[in-house]
Structure 1
């Protein structure tokens, strides 16, 4: 039985694992420019997903002028389809302060269904970010 754990990052070593996952997914697989990938790291709260101790996914949240933004959801290709994305969204949402009234994210189109399960609703027009189509989604429930 595979043991999936999602933990808030507390050490530099854990953060390096998060960056390794994101580099593989965003920079290598999706061809995002590295300079767009590494920003706002210091003010972000990071999460690392591991299956049997092996890093498999990552995400983060940060407070912005608008509210609380969930971002950088990444699951390594060989681990997709194992509900890791759902576990990451749940962990990030559970970690937000109770006062978090406006929660939003920019979803890649093929991930919108995942976020909608958590009460996120698409708003506005589709847009491109790092060469990939996205929709802004806001948590309504």
Structure 2
């Protein structure tokens, strides 16, 4: 039975450490992303922590770039995958964007494209590689 899933914006050091620990485990540990590529733009980003029954389960962030608003670093710990954690993170991040956010985009790992399509993101352009992982740029329509 799935537990209670919550995703919220976090700013305090203890919660941010949980966010970074999840990202380290998923991106650096599982996906072999170089730590220096995984760890960038932290200060200008808005970070989110997802929990299942108050246990850290997932993380994500958004930041404003020169192109618009970029959603990034969606990561869910292996034991919580397939339970709706990523969807709750996407909902929380989208709800937190400024009301005038008119260009919202992300770089989706190929396997995650169907998740973002549920939230009206569409692939644009060819597949590309980022940090050794196949991605598509997706734009919210």
Give the 4+ runs in structure 1 shifted more than 6 A: none
Larger CA deviation: 45-54 vs 1-10: 1-10
Q: TM-score of the superposition, structure 2-length normalised?
A: 0.98
2-structure distance, mates of 1:126, 1:51: 33
1:131 aligns with 2:132: yes
- Match runs of 1:17-96 below 5 Å: 17-96=18-97
Partner of 1:107: 108
Q: CA deviation at 1:10?
A: 2.2
Q: CA deviation at 1:135?
A: 0.2
**Number of residue pairs aligned between Structure 1 and Structure 2:** 140
Unaligned ranges ≥5, structure 2: none
Q: CA deviation at 1:125?
A: 1.1
2-structure distance, mates of 1:123, 1:115: 13
Q: Secondary structure of 1:31's match? A: coil
1-structure distance, mates of 2:140, 2:35: 28
- Cα RMSD, aligned residues only: 0.7
Unaligned ranges ≥5, structure 1: none
